[in-house]
């Protein structure tokens, strides 16, 4: 089943959607920040109605997001751009602030996991488009490089499918930030393709009410495999081309040719990690079916 909406969750999701659209139409930074925080409160209300695990993770997520949002406001008021950059990285869960996101998001149900990794980051990224913010670019690039490489290496070492998707979400935060620094078309292209691929992969499991595991997969293994490979960024699938669009657009604007090496390395690590995961899934499926046949 897609999502088990209750009347309360439906109300929260409707208000969340309306406020989300309203946020994109505001031109004043302080009003924008207030509406963005209202979106955060509605997100918490929606999460509370759908949460099926420990509420401590949900409260940890709220506290860290609230601290980073308050730091963004204070740093903008006093023009502390270094603090603004640090707060931005904390809110986006990028290096060196990715550990909290991994620990917290691990037990989120699928729909909340998808929402927090895609749509919920959009107002913050669009805020960087709409307002002239002088970020500390040295710190930004240091975070992008380490986030991309560390997430790729960590994905190769994990055996848990849940952790693989969480680490993948952390790694793709770097691509969201890079695409935001190019142009609106490249950003929306990557964001749309990534969000849709992640949604379809999560939907390939037993709906969006739980977090995926090897014991909660659907019956169509080929459909699942297609979206796993698609999310890995393997050519010639859509996410690969959306990354290439971002990369060429960024190099055309900033002339940073060494990004090709970073792209090839990080994308190769992600492809290997996802292929390793899908091979493990088929081994699990085959061993389970063989065990059932032996019982018969």
pLDDT reported for residue 218: 46
Q: How far is CA 137 from CA 34, 131, 177, 244, in A?
A: 26, 16, 12, 22
pTM listed for this prediction: 0.85
Q: Does the pLDDT at position 71 exceed 90?
A: yes
Name the token pair of 212.
Answer: 């995926």
Give pLDDT, residue 36.
92
CB 251 within 8 A of CB 259: yes
Q: Which residues pair with 205 in a beta bridge?
A: 217
DSSP designation for 133: -
Average pLDDT over residues 117-126: 90
pLDDT in tens, 146-198: 888 888 888 888 877 778 888 888 988 988 988 888 888 889 999 999 999 88
State the chain's mean pLDDT as an integer: 80
With tokens 């680490």, the residue in question is: 167
| pLDDT (0 to 100) of residue 263 | 73
- Short-list 277, 285, 266, 270, CA closest to 161: 277
Q: What residue has token string 């970073």?
A: 262
Spell out the domain ranges in the chain. Answer: 51-122+132-295
DSSP calls for 40-68: HHHHHHHHHHH--S-HHHHHHHHHHHHHH
The pair of three-digit structure tokens given for residue 109, joined into one six-digit string: 């149900």
User: Which of 39-53, 68-82, 156-170, 228-242 is the most confident on average?
Assistant: 68-82
Find out whether 102 and 3 touch, Cβ atoms under 8 Å: no
The residue-averaged pLDDT of 7-21 equals 85
Per-residue pLDDT at 222: 63
Rounded CA-CA distance 194/189 in Å is 8
pLDDT at residue number 190: 92
pLDDT band at 91 (very low <50, low <70, confident <90, very high): very high
User: CA 176, CA 171: separation in Å to the nearest integer?
Assistant: 9
pLDDT per residue over 224-270, tens digit each? 677 777 787 777 888 888 988 888 888 777 666 666 777 777 777 77
pLDDT score recorded for residue 38 = 92
Runs of H (alpha helix) within the chain: 7-23, 29-50, 55-77, 81-92, 99-105, 110-117, 122-130, 137-157, 161-180, 184-203, 221-232, 238-254, 259-295
Lowest-confidence pick of 51-55, 60-64, 146-150, 198-202? 51-55
Question: What mean pLDDT comes out for the span 100-123?
Answer: 87
């Amino acid at each position: 089943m897609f999502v088990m909406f209750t009347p309360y969750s439906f109300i929260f999701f409707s208000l969340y959607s309306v406020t989300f659209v309203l946020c994109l139409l505001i031109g004043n930074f302080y009003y924008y920040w207030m509406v963005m925080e209202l979106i955060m409160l509605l997100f918490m209300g929606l999460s509370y109605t759908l949460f099926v695990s420990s509420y401590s993770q949900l409260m940890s997520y709220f506290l860290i997001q609230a601290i980073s949002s308050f730091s963004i406001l204070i740093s903008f008021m006093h023009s502390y751009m270094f603090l603004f950059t640090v707060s931005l990285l904390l809110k986006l869960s990028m290096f060196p602030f990715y550990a909290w996101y991994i620990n917290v998001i691990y037990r989120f149900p699928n729909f909340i996991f998808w929402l927090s990794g895609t749509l919920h980051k959009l107002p913050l990224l669009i805020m960087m488009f709409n307002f002239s913010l002088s970020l500390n670019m040295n710190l930004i690039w240091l975070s992008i490089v380490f986030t991309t490489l560390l997430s790729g290496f960590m994905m190769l070492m994990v055996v848990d499918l849940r952790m693989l998707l969480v680490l993948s979400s952390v790694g793709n935060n770097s691509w969201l930030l890079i695409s935001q620094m190019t142009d609106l078309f490249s950003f929306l292209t990557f964001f749309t393709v990534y969000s849709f691929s992640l949604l379809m992969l999560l939907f390939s499991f037993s709906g969006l009410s739980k977090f995926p595991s090897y014991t909660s997969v659907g019956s169509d293994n080929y459909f699942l495999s297609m979206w796993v490979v698609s999310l890995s960024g393997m050519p010639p699938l859509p996410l690969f081309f959306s990354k290439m669009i971002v990369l060429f657009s960024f190099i055309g604007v900033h002339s940073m040719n060494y990004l090709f090496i970073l792209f090839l390395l990080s994308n190769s690590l992600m492809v290997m990690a996802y292929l390793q995961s899908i091979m493990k899934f088929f081994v699990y499926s085959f061993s389970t079916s063989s065990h059932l046949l032996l019982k018969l």
